Amino acid sequence: MANSLLGRVAVITGGAGGIGRASALALGDMGAKVVIADISIDAARKVAEGLNSDGLEAHAVQVDVVDEASVKAMVDEAKDVFGRVDILYANAAALDLEMQQHDRDVISMDPEIWDRAMAVNLKGAMLCCKHVLPDMLERKAGSIVLASSGMGFQGEITRSAYAASKAALMMLAKSLAAQYGKRGVRANAVQIGYLPPQDASKSTLPEVVDILVRHNLVPYKLEPRHIADVVAFLASDAASAITGQTIVADGGFSAHTPTMNDMINFMSRSGLNEM
Ligand SMILES: NC(=O)c1ccc[n+]([C@@H]2O[C@H](COP(=O)([O-])OP(=O)(O)OC[C@H]3O[C@@H](n4cnc5c(N)ncnc54)[C@H](O)[C@@H]3O)[C@@H](O)[C@H]2O)c1
């Protein structure tokens, strides 16, 4: 896949974060020029500098995806610097501590928390699509990838707003595919599974990490590079037949029965098999 994106330009929102940075690296390794767009310009610059010093072509832009003028300015800057936009990875999401602590069950939901999740995660992705599409349609080619989540597919006891926003992104991919597919633009979502935090200061309780990782079907913990490879594949012509889909990249978390681990424990306690 090396050089398969030579000459293409990718905009990655939330590009300074874990999966955003890894995706920029994966797309850059395939030859794309990458725009690292993030609300934190310092963090975006640091990522872009790192990629540039690795011999890739990267440019940092500040964007607040909630603000349409800011999104338009991001796309204009991407075109000024690199001439075009071929790929959008809409990856930015409101994942800060406030959201983690206050986005819980529906009865306790603060409507402002709900609105913020919808604004950043969903409206933000839509605005980015809205402003990259004209350039893609002009050249009759483009690939849009939306960062969804397993929480947008399976019910959980918490994070109701995040989950609803991520479910809606799966539908947004279908709308985009239906509306612009015949004009050369593909759109897909990635249902991302749980990645244990690499930064201990952001960390979830170790017990919670263990529960989530135990339900994967692969023997390793998922890392940003695993998701980045899927994003890069969807962005590339290797995925020409795929549009309007949600590709599940969750290490098998959603592929087994909810009772599987209880069953393994039961069988092991009962001496019924070796698992
Ligand atoms: N990490 C996981 O376990 C996981 C699981 C499922 C889905 N996802 C999804 O993957 C994507 C990336 O997650 P991550 O773990 O890399 O998160 P992260 O927190 O490392 O990165 C998110 C980035 O988005 C940026 N951002 C936040 N608000 C913004 C705004 N208004 N405008 C522009 N940028 C903004 C942040 O500054 C940050 O750099 C998210 O959409 C997330 O919902 C992650």
pLDDT over 90 at 275, yes or no: no
Mean pLDDT of the chain: 95
pLDDT digits (tens, 9 = 90+) for 70-91: 999 999 999 999 999 999 999 9
pLDDT digits (tens, 9 = 90+) for 218-271: 999 999 999 999 999 999 999 999 999 999 999 999 999 999 988 988 998 898
CB 195 less than 6 A from any atom of ligand 1? yes
- Does residue 3 sit within a domain? no
CA of 120 to the centre of ligand 1 (A): 10
- Does residue 191 sit within a domain? yes
Domain that holds residue 232: 9-270
Q: Closest ligand 1 atom to the C-alpha of 148? A: 7
Which CATH number fits the domain that encloses residue 30? 3.40.50.720
- Cβ atoms of residues 92 and 124 within 8 Å: yes
CB 191 less than 6 A from any atom of ligand 1? no
- Does residue 163 sit within a domain? yes
- Does residue 72 sit within a domain? yes
- Does residue 255 sit within a domain? yes
pLDDT of residue 206: 85
**CA-only gyration radius of the chain, Å:** 19
Give the total number of structural domains in the chain: 1
pLDDT over 80 at 143, yes or no: yes
Whether 162 is catalytic: yes
pLDDT digits (tens, 9 = 90+) for 147-178: 999 999 999 999 999 999 999 999 999 999 99
Q: What is the pTM for the complete model shown?
A: 0.97
Q: DSSP assignment of 136-169, as one string? A: HHHTT-EEEEEEEEGGGTS--SS-HHHHHHHHHH
pLDDT of residue 209: 84
pLDDT digits (tens, 9 = 90+) for 23-63: 999 999 999 999 999 999 999 999 999 999 999 999 999 99
Q: Give the lowest-confidence range in 53-57, 97-101, 121-125.
A: 97-101
pLDDT of residue 201: 55
CA of 273 to the centre of ligand 1 (A): 41
CA of 274 to the centre of ligand 1 (A): 39
Q: Is 105 helix (H, G, I), strand (E, B) or coil?
A: coil
pLDDT digits (tens, 9 = 90+) for 203-233: 678 888 888 888 999 999 999 999 999 999 9
- Does residue 18 sit within a domain? yes
CB 18 less than 6 A from any atom of ligand 1? yes
- Does residue 238 sit within a domain? yes
Distances in whole angstroms, Cα of residue 22 to Cα of each of 14, 26, 181, 207, 224: 11, 6, 27, 26, 6
- Does residue 121 sit within a domain? yes
CB 242 less than 6 A from any atom of ligand 1? no
Average pLDDT of span 112-117? 98
Residues in the chain: 275
